[in-house]
Amino acid sequence: MAESEGQIIYVVTAGEYSSYYICGVYSTEEKAFAVAESVGGTVEYYPLDDIDRGILAPRMVEIDKHGNVRPNGYLGKITSSQVQSFITRDGVGRFSVIARSQDHAIKAANEIRGQLLAMDRWVSGPVEHPMLWKPPAEEAQVQ
């Protein structure tokens, strides 16, 4: 594990809306709160080197008909060769979605689940839905 992994940085901000700005970034909570107090700002916490935060990526979620994510049902980031969206014979939806995080992926899968149920399309087999991710079609090779 890299030395910076798991570390937290402390960002002091002030202002609102269009006047919102960053006053400074600090390695300790004490330093950040001292500056925040002097400028009337607030302290925000961020993981250092968290490259997964906020990046849209294909992710896989398994969810049942009632909206329960299966134990270990958030399968994380996937590659294009792993993309599948279907409903199993025992009624579990396995959906490939584009999302920024685990919570975002689960929310998207739950929305797909609700729409499929409303359209009476929660049946076993492959699933087609506009919110499901499909890898880009491979370009035909010119010969």
pLDDT at 59: 83
CA-closest candidate to residue 57, choices 90, 85, 79, 40: 79
With beta carbons less than 8 A apart as the criterion, state whether 92 and 98 touch.
Answer: no
User: How do the pLDDT tens digits run along the chain, 143 residues long?
Assistant: 445 556 888 999 998 888 889 999 999 999 999 999 999 999 888 777 765 556 777 888 899 999 998 876 777 677 766 777 888 888 899 888 888 788 888 899 999 999 999 999 999 888 888 778 776 654 434 44
pLDDT at 103: 85
Q: 120: buried, middle or exposed (CB in 10 Å: 19+, 13-18, 0-12)?
A: exposed
Token representation of residue 5: 């992994």
Amino acid at 14: A
Q: 60: buried, middle or exposed (CB in 10 Å: 19+, 13-18, 0-12)?
A: buried
**In the chain, domain spans:** 8-47, 57-126
Amino acid at 109: A
The three-class DSSP label of residue 72 is strand
DSSP notation for 48-59: TT-TTTT--EEE
**CA dist 40 to 13, 45, 51, Å?**
9, 17, 30
Pairing of strands 92-99, 57-64: antiparallel
